[in-house]
Structure 1
Amino acid sequence: MKFKTKKILSLIVTLSLLLGIFVVPAMANAEDTVKITILGTTDVHGNIYNWSYEDAKANESVGLAKVFTVVQKVREENPNTILLDNGDTIQGTVLTDDLYNVNLDEPNPVIAAMNFMGYDAMTLGNHEFNFGLDLVNKIIEEAEFPMLSANTYKRADDTHYVKPYIVKEIAGVKVGILGLTTPSIPRWDGAKVDSLYFTHMAEEAEKQIKLLKETEKVDIIIATAHSGLESRHEEDGGDAVKLVIERNPEIEAMLIGHDHESIARMEGNVAIGAARDQGRQVVRIDLTLQKDGEGWKVIEKTPSLIEVVEFEASEELKEHTKVYHEATLEFLKETLGVATDDFHPASEVKGIPEAQVRDTAVIDLINTVQLKYTGADIAAAALFKNDSNIRKGNISFNNIFDIYKYPNTLVGVEVTGKELKAYMEWSAAYYNTYKPGDVTISFNPNIRGYNYDMFAGVEYKVDISKPVGERIVDLVFKGNPVKEDDVFKLAINNYRYSGMKDMGIINGEAYLETDPISLRSYIADYIKEQGTISPEVDNNWSVVGADLNHPLRDYIIEQVNKGEIQVPVSQDGRTPNVKALNVYELAAEGKIPAELAKEHGLLPTEEPAPEPIPAPAPVEEPKVEVPAGQKYTVKAGDVLWKIAEQFGLAWEKLAEFNSLKNPHLIFPGQEILIP
């Protein structure tokens, strides 16, 4: 009896599913409406498995295996689903950058995964070009879906490098899908893309949308753009999605990226979506369309984001790409050498990375490698992660990946002393200007850490009391002050070389380019050659112009490390330590106990109210009573810089004249000599 009941229930469920397949579309047709779902990924950066190769452990927040589970569920919900990728897809992990992107004889694992997932199209991003056009041509050939980029052209014949758009019919709706790529690629990849040129995104979109409407007769247009909303690199706004939207109101929905931001909202009349990197999120845009004569019109748009951490990874996709994953794990097992100690010291102040406030062994290691393999006089490098470190113990390739995330190549170029100084001044803009009362050094919130270069081969100081452009002092090469007409060989990565040339800071042509061998590979080779490496620091540079020795500094740092005082970060969270901790500001905010603040003259002391006396007749008095060469008696609430300001002096001069060991420690009744 139970078997019969189960059989009847099974028949009912099957009939219900069949009715759902045949009846629902009939109802939709009767109502002349249809729903199309767009799913989009962007900036996946080579993450297939839910795994971190750098940390050798699972990461449940990332990977195409997670994305595929989302895709399957949405496709079950709505078969009228379009799956798009927005670029920066094949680069970014050890699996891609150090194995399969440099071996063109093997299938590309990311493309293999995307074929399995059934992508409808992919727009090229800037990082697709990092390894040259041979790799891009290879993935175009291997992909079972079209690659798009309307604004990328071949110089030889002015034809499109890949398709500008595709037209896809879904549920009777003719959909035009347009692809756009940030035109700033030549800045970063230089000679690798010499055979191509990239046009203004908004202008190109106008041309292609006209074709889509008039020639292709599409019902709706959706677009993908590997670029951010605002212009970041192009003076004419050629890389700004906002401009694309303003000039092309025909676009109904748009997948964007490049900035690794989470966006799901309406921008004008366009539904836009952007996801964080590594496959952490999937963009979803639902469009409801209604029959309009012989065509269709969109009557509702809903952009949203799906977090992949909430879904299990697809075992099907993991099995399909297992051979690539296991080959990477084997590659990472190799021991390259041994570190006798950590190369990045622990932070004195929680939230302030040491490697960007003083010279450390981790940046000296990178610069040593650059000098060795280029034969240069001077090298410059940045840290891509604030906590980059070679830790004590065995060193494997994932440790190299941790200190040098990207597959940048090495460039050697001759520069003049004038160019070198301009480059160093550009870098030194990373620091905020010191002000009296600061007890920490802080960073410009508008400059990422990867744009702060530290130099080897020269000795120098960065004076943060001076304005931007005047900070590099005591610049010396082999014991001699650097002169404007001196000529040096400089080692930098290809990304920085392109940027410096584009800004006109460096003008020379490269005498050495290691493409396609990455700096990361040279670091690995160096460690293999050495066998055992120890953290060595030459302390060739320092930050000056900041007196951080206020007597309350230790207390403030203790409170920070306890979590009672926070070191500010930028609004987007990507730049740490964007504002110095200042004793006067902390006292005013009540973050220093009143007793301590009063003890150190940070708050006015309580004094008995004076006896009332008749008001004297008003007389004009000079602003400063004490002439130069006399004494000034400190009153409650005075600080040295305010006293100095009264006499038109710099507080440093006043401190020096009075031989003040701690210029921030003055007290009521103390006499200050005025020079």
Structure 2
Amino acid sequence: MILEPPPQPDDHEVALPEGVTAQLRLLETTDLHAHLLPYDYHSDNGDQPWGLARVATLIRAARAQVRNVMLFDNGDALQGTPMGDLTTGPAPEWRGPNPVIAAMNRLNYDAATLGNHEFNFGLNWLGRALGDATFPVTCANIMTPEGATPARSYLPQYLLLRRTLACDDGAEYPLTLGVIGLVPPQITTWDHAHLAGQLHVQDMIQTARRIVPQVRAAGADIVLLLAHSGIDGAHAIPMMENAAVPLAAIEGVDAIMAGHSHDIFPQPEATGNTHSQDTMEAAAVDHARGVLSGKPAVMAGAWGSHLGVLDLSLEARGGRWRISGHTAEARPVASVPGPPATRAPVLSISCDADLSRALGPAHRLTLRHMHRPIGQARARLHSYLAMARADASVAAVNAVQTRLLARALQGTAHEGLPILSATAAFKTGGRGGPNNFTDLPEGPLSLRHAADLYPFPNHLCGMILTGADLRDWLERAAICFATVRPGAPEAMLRDYSVPGHDFDVISGLTYRIDLSAAPRYDRHGAALDAAPGVGAGRIQDLCYNGLPLAADARFALATNSYRAFGAGAFTRPDDARIVHVSDTALRDDLVAEIAHTPLAAPAEHTANWRFVPLPGSSVLLDTGKGLRTDPSALDDMTADDLGLTPAGFQRLRIWL
């Protein structure tokens, strides 16, 4: 579905007197991930320190403070909670507009762009959702497939928003705000099953360099980038994912709203670019001034944890508005920022009563779905220690994937190949906060437990890989750990620049991970062979059926669509190696399996990996305090409980 651009406004009709001044406030939400109400549907707990209903209170207050205000969303709004999933599936019970779109309509957003997760349920679903929006949506770098004639953009590449400004002298004059949306080009990898042959995504930086002059020529006074992209290096790299810094540096860009990485910008206590050791790159990220590459910038966290506020002082020069000064702020809904920030919340902004009432029917339907019984679990399954040892919750998912792929390959040329399974614990704390862990009880399970165990709308894929491929897969998974230097000061176990869900565990193999060895890849999958300390790799004693894994041995690997097409630090295999892609979501397959077979971690899928012993060395792991309700979980490891961190994590010292 190609959405046609709206008619563009004419040039200014009123002359703008030289020297007139005005104040313009631009507000941002980003990465809401369908967190509309402060309710955790996975744990069945309300009054959480996030959600659009809380941000709406901040929006109303921000609008009341100044006369000229515009509100934008920076993407990843539609997917992420069970309420956001109400409109998915072949026969959804929810009949109205997507609840996220309905909420945004009610708050009178001025415009929005798309994030990568907007494509998780396919283009038809996305087109229906956007069709109910009362605000325009822009994205400049998503095009019809390569070779299509004529080449067209999926959405308007830019918007010209005409507004009348109440000026400081009491007069009113027109403003044209040019808005350009951008999304990471990796969407065709992450949602390959939905987008292959449907869309072509261009480099964000090259696209912006081409479009910004067009927006200027079309009459924009101020050019705003809605870039669903995080803060990384200042150097432009082809097809860069987190490109906010080089995007802001483009000539003609006046301000930028960033997102995607769930970070907060500016942070008053921060200095420089914490993602980079490069002096030039660090200088391009100025928290104190609220600028990226010298341009006003903001990034409002995630899940409705913050409201981004850019206050621009405007002055008329040469018949156009220009920015003469600014302030930037990420206003939290909690007095100490809640998830996904780094400290525990203390006091939250109250919810907007009008929006909360409007969301009531969708909330009640979501609860009814989440409470639907689906089956049994034979034991308690949680992810509190999934980054420190072989984990039963991961093993249980791998067991289901193995059964599913075995059935799918029956009667094919690949029947009879040994089947392995790769998955990760999707919830392991990190930026998601101290409650971001899976915890399923022994006994009856409901749909909310399946959503807790498998929160993403991936599909099952089957791949044909060799022993050498599998070793490389595990090396890429092991980059999530920091390097332990014997005799060096105690350090954190995890490298938090790598998401926890990039740590795949392959059931059916046994192996050890050597933390004293340097990782072989960076978080983007680039080889680090030239780095000091990089040798044979971190994966040792890799075996199948108790024997060393032969490099040329062939296996069928069950994994998910996100990973199969090369997401994270992983490489995409040749299409010929992908021999199965399920038509149904893996979470739905999981629910169907639990209905017939109690969820469990079979012995052959557990205890398959461990760390290489490093006598006298220890690491620190921040986990959820729910681990304290399962003290036996620590029986097979040597660990000290160091208490709770200021962020609310339980910190363990783990002896290697």
User: What is the TM-score when the length of structure 2 is the normalising length?
Assistant: 0.74
Q: Report what 1:443 is aligned to.
A: 494
Compute the displacement of 1:231 (Å).
Answer: 5.6
Query: Where do residues 332-481 of structure 1 align in structure 2 (5 Å cutoff)?
Result: 332-344=370-382, 353-375=384-406, 377-386=419-428, 387-433=437-483, 436=486, 442-464=493-515, 468=519, 469-481=536-548
Q: Report what 1:495 is aligned to.
A: 562
Q: Distance in 1 between matches of 2:308 and 2:223?
A: 17
Q: Distance in 1 between matches of 2:142 and 2:571?
A: 25
User: Is 2:580 the counterpart of 1:512?
Assistant: yes
Query: Where do residues 213-232 of structure 1 align in structure 2 (5 Å cutoff)?
Result: 213-214=216-217, 216-230=218-232
Q: Distance in 2 between matches of 1:69 and 1:104?
A: 34
Query: Where do residues 139-178 of structure 1 align in structure 2 (5 Å cutoff)?
Result: 139-155=129-145, 156=148, 157-170=150-163, 171=165, 172-178=174-180
Maintained 8 Å contact 2:25/2:312: yes
Query: Where do residues 532-547 of structure 1 align in structure 2 (5 Å cutoff)?
Result: 532-534=598-600, 536-538=602-604, 539-547=606-614
- Tell me the alpha carbon deviations over residues 25-58 of structure 1, each in whole angstroms, 9 at most, x when there is no partner: xxx9998222111111000001111211112222
1:283 alignment partner AA: G
2:613 alignment partner AA: A
From 242, 267, 270, give the equivalent of 2:292: 267
1:326 alignment partner AA: R
Q: Report what 1:208 is aligned to.
A: 211
- Partner of 1:134, secondary structure, is helix
Q: Distance in 1 between matches of 2:648 and 2:238?
A: 26
Maintained 8 Å contact 2:641/2:650: no
When residues 506 and 359 of structure 1 are mapped into structure 2, their CA distance, relative to the original with a 3 A threshold, is same
Q: Report what 1:73 is aligned to.
A: 61
From 111, 116, 126, give the equivalent of 1:126: 116
When residues 213 and 544 of structure 1 are mapped into structure 2, their CA distance, relative to the original with a 3 A threshold, is closer
Q: Distance in 2 between matches of 1:487 and 1:575?
A: 42
Runs (5+) with no aligned partner, structure 1: 1-27, 346-352, 583-675
From 166, 184, 187, give the equivalent of 2:186: 184
Compute the displacement of 1:560 (Å).
Answer: 4.3
Compute the displacement of 1:480 (Å).
Answer: 4.7
User: What is the TM-score when the length of structure 1 is the normalising length?
Assistant: 0.72
Q: Distance in 1 between matches of 2:495 and 2:58?
A: 39
Q: Distance in 2 between matches of 1:162 and 1:282?
A: 25
Query: Where do residues 302-317 of structure 1 align in structure 2 (5 Å cutoff)?
Result: 302-309=327-334, 310-317=348-355
Compute the displacement of 1:203 (Å).
Answer: 1.7
Moved more, 306-315 or 461-470: 461-470
From 63, 70, 76, give the equivalent of 2:51: 63
Maintained 8 Å contact 1:388/1:403: yes
- Partner of 1:379, secondary structure, is strand
Q: Distance in 2 between matches of 1:89 and 1:297?
A: 31
Q: Distance in 2 between matches of 1:360 and 1:139?
A: 38
Q: Percent identity?
A: 27
Maintained 8 Å contact 2:642/2:652: no
Compute the displacement of 1:104 (Å).
Answer: 7.1
Q: Distance in 1 between matches of 2:379 and 2:40?
A: 24
- Tell me the alpha carbon deviations over residues 567-600 of structure 1, each in whole angstroms, 9 at most, x when there is no partner: xx9xxx9999899769xxxxxxxxxxxxxxxxxx
Q: Report what 1:280 is aligned to.
A: 305
Q: Report what 1:561 is aligned to.
A: 641
User: Is 2:359 the counterpart of 1:321?
Assistant: yes
Maintained 8 Å contact 2:226/2:256: yes
Compute the displacement of 1:89 (Å).
Answer: 0.5
From 249, 260, 274, give the equivalent of 1:246: 249
Q: Distance in 2 between matches of 1:233 and 1:300?
A: 26
- Structure in which a larger fraction of residues adopt helix: 1
- Partner of 1:124, secondary structure, is coil
Higher relative contact order (CA 8 A, sep 6+): 2
When residues 404 and 72 of structure 1 are mapped into structure 2, their CA distance, relative to the original with a 3 A threshold, is same
Q: Distance in 1 between matches of 2:211 and 2:359?
A: 36
1:373 alignment partner AA: L
Compute the displacement of 1:229 (Å).
Answer: 2.1
Q: Distance in 2 between matches of 1:184 and 1:232?
A: 19
Runs (5+) with no aligned partner, structure 2: 1-15, 166-173, 267-289, 335-347, 407-417, 429-436, 520-535, 621-633
